[in-house]
A = this chain, B = another copy of it.
Amino acid sequence: MSDKCVVLLSGGLDSATTLAMARRDGYDCYALTCLYGQRHCIETEAAKRVAKSLGVTDHRLFHLDLSTIGGSALTDPKMNVPKDRSDHAITSGIPVTYVPARNTLFLSLALAWAEVLGAFDIFIGVNSLDYSGYPDCRPEFIEAFTNMANLATAAGVQGKGKYAIRTPIIGLTKAQIIEQGRHLQVDFSLTHSCYDPDEQGRSCGHCDSCILRQRGFAEVGLVDPVAYQPL
């Protein structure tokens, strides 16, 4: 019997590739999508499509109403997602799209579900190169979370297993992630990356997430199959 794992799945290309890598490694995959922002419907649909196309044993959607807390352009309707329409530069430093304690929350939910499932491996598609401004995408954060997880849980304390947070794309460039996903037959047309899509779900092409995605596809010489808003 394969080991179970929980995979955090946003519906973007990073988490889709991470899920494909967990499957390649022989895990029995349980996907968890945490919905928190202003793009619920589009993200939900993308995550469902990706989970279905890659084959998971179960897929749960968890609604986290982070607008109660605010503090990010992705959770507070009064803050704008930054866009650079001139030179396609991405924001430097920690951007306003940083969501306070977001990955801590996502990993905590994944940990809760893992404990219920009897799984000890949690996959998350964090990347410390492209999103160098996000503190909760760095290896030192992942290590500290892992240590905490093994002290926080009954399963960890009773020695039934040791929780591991798996971050297979943490050190890859966006181009390398796309190469890896292509190799594993990820259908990128099903994924969604944009922070600010229009009502038809078309990507804006100008937020940090779109810019990184487009650069990655350009670098590997592929056409990004998702729809973009007209200029």
Contacts and interface: CB of A to CB of B under 8 A. Distances in A.
A148 B147 contact: yes
B153 A101 contact: yes
A162 B103 CA distance: 19
Contacts of A152: 101, 103-104, 135-136, 141, 144-145
Interface in A60-79: 60-66, 68-71
B154 A148 contact: no
A114 to B, nearest CB: 8
Interface string A90-105: 0000100011111111
A158 interface: yes
A157 interface: yes
Which one of A94, A104, A136 has the highest number of Cβ atoms from chain B below 10 Å of its Cβ?
Answer: A104
A148 B148 contact: yes
B60 A62 contact: no
A49 interface: no
A88 interface: no
A1 interface: no
A168 interface: no
Contacts of A171: none
A137 to B, nearest CB: 10
A23 interface: no
A4 B141 CA distance: 25
Contacts of A136: 151-153
Given A152-B136, A154-B135, A69 B116 contact: yes
A188 interface: no
A108 interface: yes
Interface string A137-163: 010110011011101111011100000
Interface of A: 60-66, 68-71, 94, 98-105, 108-109, 111-113, 115-116, 135-136, 138, 140-141, 144-145, 147-149, 151-154, 156-158
Given A100-B154, A104-B152, A141-B152, 11 more contacts: A60-B68, A100-B112, A101-B112, A101-B152, A101-B153, A104-B111, A104-B112, A105-B108, A141-B148, A141-B151, A145-B148
